[in-house]
C-alpha cells in the first residue's frame, strides 16, 4: 500500500511538471515565473490584455487540460477492461468504442456543412461510440446476461464492421479534398484547434465516469479471482459487468470524441503501472488515471516540439505497436513455460 501511495505521489508530481512545461512550450517560450504572473493577475478594466494571457488562456491551457482528460480517461478505462476481461492485452477499443467514435465523426463531417460539422464532430463521435457499445451489449447478451467472452467477441465484430464503414465513408469523401483532409486529421488524433467547449464536454463525463469506476474497485478485485468467487462474496456479477462496461464506455467515448483516435494508451499505461503498484484496483485505477494523463500530455508536448506535423495518434501508435508485440511475445513465453 505504501508503494502505491508513493507511486501516486510521483505521478501527481510528474503530471504537474508536465503541465507547467506544456503551458510554457510553444512557438514562443513563456517562462514558468511569467506563467504564474499572467494567470493569477486579474486583468484591469481598460488595460490592454497581455499577449501571453491570450495565448495561455485561449490556446495552451484548454489543450493541456484536454490532453489530461483524454489520457486519464483512456488510462482508467484500459485498467478496467483489463480487469474485467482478465487479460493484460485488453484495452478500451475491445468494445468497439473507438471504432464507433471514428464512424460517428466521419459521418458528421461528411453529412453536415463544414461550418456546422466543426462544432458537432465531438457530439457525433460520442453518439457513435455509445451506439456501438449498446450494439455490442445487445449482440453479446443473451436473456439479459452477457459473459466476458461473448462481450469480447461481439466487440471485435462490431469494431470490424464500424472500421469497414469508416473506410467506406472516407473513400467516398476523398473526392472532396477538404472534407477528406478533415476526416484524416481527426482519425490520426490530435488536440489542435480544441477549445474550452471540448473541455466542458469532456470534463463531467470523464471525471464522473472515473469516480464511478474507482467505486467499483473492490468488484474488479473480486472478478479477477473469478466470477464464481465474486458471486460467493455477494457481488451481483451481471449488474457489475453492465455498470463497468457502461461507465468504461462513457469515459472512453468522451475521451475519443474530444481528442480523436489515440491508440494504445489504455494498453500501455495500466500494464506498466500494474507492475509498479500491483493488481489491486483501489490503487491501480487512480494511478492509471494520473499515468494516462501524464502520458498523453507528454506525447502532445513531443508532437509540438517535433519537426514536421507529427500527429498525436501517430506517435501513440509508434510507441504502442512495439509494446504490444513485446507483450505478445512475453505472454507466449509465459504460456510455454507453464506447459
pLDDT tens string 5-29: 899 999 999 999 999 999 988 878 8
pLDDT tier at 175 (50, 70, 90 boundaries)? confident
Report pLDDT for 16: 94
134 Cβ contact partners less than 8 Å away, ≥ 6 residues apart: none
Q: Cell digits for 144? A: 439479459
d(CA 121, CA 101): 10
Write out the DSSP string of 249-276: HHHHHHHHHHH---TTHHHHHHHHHHHH
Domain assignment present for residue 44? The answer is no
Number of domains forming the structure of the chain: 1
The CATH number that applies at residue 238 is: 1.10.3470.10
Asked whether residue 200 carries a pLDDT value surpassing 70, the answer given is yes
Mean pLDDT of the chain: 84
Asked whether residue 263 carries a pLDDT value surpassing 80, the answer given is yes
When pLDDT is averaged across residues 195-221 and rounded to a whole number, the result is 91
Structure pTM? 0.88
Domain assignment present for residue 321? The answer is yes
pLDDT tier at 48 (50, 70, 90 boundaries)? low
Domain assignment present for residue 339? The answer is no
Domain assignment present for residue 26? The answer is yes
Report pLDDT for 50: 74
Report pLDDT for 179: 78
Report pLDDT for 260: 85
Distances from the Cα of 72 to the Cα of 157, 164, 187, angstroms: 27, 28, 20
Report pLDDT for 308: 73
Helix axes 32-40, 2-24, angle to 10 degrees: 80
Burial class (CB in 10 A: 0-12, 13-18, 19+), 16: exposed
**3-class DSSP state of 335:** helix
pLDDT digits (tens, 9 = 90+) for 116-154: 555 678 888 888 888 888 888 888 776 456 666 787 788
Domain assignment present for residue 258? The answer is yes
Domain enclosing residue 80, as ranges: 2-39+49-334
Domain assignment present for residue 249? The answer is yes
Asked whether residue 78 carries a pLDDT value surpassing 60, the answer given is yes
Domain assignment present for residue 108? The answer is yes
Report for 40-54, 73-87, 88-102, 203-217: range of highest mean pLDDT: 203-217
Report pLDDT for 187: 84
Amino acid at each position: 500500500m505504501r508503494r502505491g501511495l508513493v507511486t501516486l505521489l510521483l505521478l501527481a508530481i510528474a503530471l504537474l511538471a508536465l503541465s507547467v512545461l506544456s503551458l510554457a512550450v510553444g512557438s514562443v517560450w513563456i517562462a514558468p515565473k511569467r506563467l504564474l504572473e499572467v494567470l493569477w493577475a486579474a486583468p484591469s478594466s481598460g488595460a490592454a490584455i497581455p499577449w501571453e494571457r491570450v495565448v495561455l488562456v485561449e490556446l495552451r491551457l484548454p489543450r493541456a487540460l484536454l490532453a489530461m482528460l483524454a489520457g486519464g480517461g483512456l488510462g482508467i478505462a484500459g485498467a478496467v477492461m483489463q480487469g474485467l476481461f482478465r487479460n493484460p492485452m485488453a484495452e478500451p477499443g475491445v468494445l468497439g468504442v473507438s471504432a464507433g467514435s471514428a464512424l460517428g465523426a466521419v459521418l458528421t463531417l461528411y453529412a453536415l456543412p463544414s461550418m456546422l460539422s466543426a462544432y458537432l464532430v465531438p457530439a457525433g463521435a460520442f453518439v457513435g461510440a455509445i451506439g456501438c457499445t449498446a450494439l455490442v451489449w445487445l449482440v453479446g447478451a443473451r436473456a439479459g446476461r452477457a459473459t466476458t467472452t461473448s462481450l469480447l467477441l461481439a466487440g471485435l465484430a462490431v469494431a470490424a464492421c464500424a472500421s469497414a464503414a469508416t473506410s467506406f465513408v472516407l473513400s467516398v469523401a476523398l473526392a472532396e479534398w477538404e472534407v477528406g483532409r478533415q476526416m484524416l486529421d481527426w482519425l490520426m488524433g490530435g488536440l489542435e484547434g480544441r477549445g474550452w467547449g471540448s473541455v466542458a464536454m469532456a470534463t463531467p463525463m470523464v471525471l464522473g465516469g472515473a469516480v464511478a469506476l474507482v467505486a467499483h474497485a473492490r468488484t474488479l478485485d473480486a472478478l479477477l479471482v473469478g466470477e464464481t468467487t465474486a458471486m460467493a462474496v455477494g457481488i451481483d456479477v451481471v449488474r457489475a459487468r453492465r455498470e463497468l462496461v457502461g461507465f468504461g464506455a462513457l469515459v472512453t467515448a468522451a475521451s475519443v470524441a474530444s481528442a480523436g483516435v489515440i491508440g494504445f494508451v489504455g494498453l500501455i499505461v495500466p500494464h506498466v503501472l500494474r507492475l509498479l503498484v500491483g493488481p489491486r484496483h483501489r490503487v491501480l485505477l487512480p494511478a492509471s488515471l494520473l499515468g494516462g494523463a501524464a502520458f498523453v500530455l507528454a506525447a502532445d508536448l513531443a508532437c509540438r516540439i517535433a519537426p514536421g506535423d507529427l500527429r498525436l495518434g501517430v506517435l501513440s501508435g509508434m510507441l504502442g505497436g512495439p509494446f504490444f508485440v513485446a507483450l505478445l511475445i512475453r505472454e507466449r513465453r509465459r504460456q510455454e513455460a507453464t506447459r
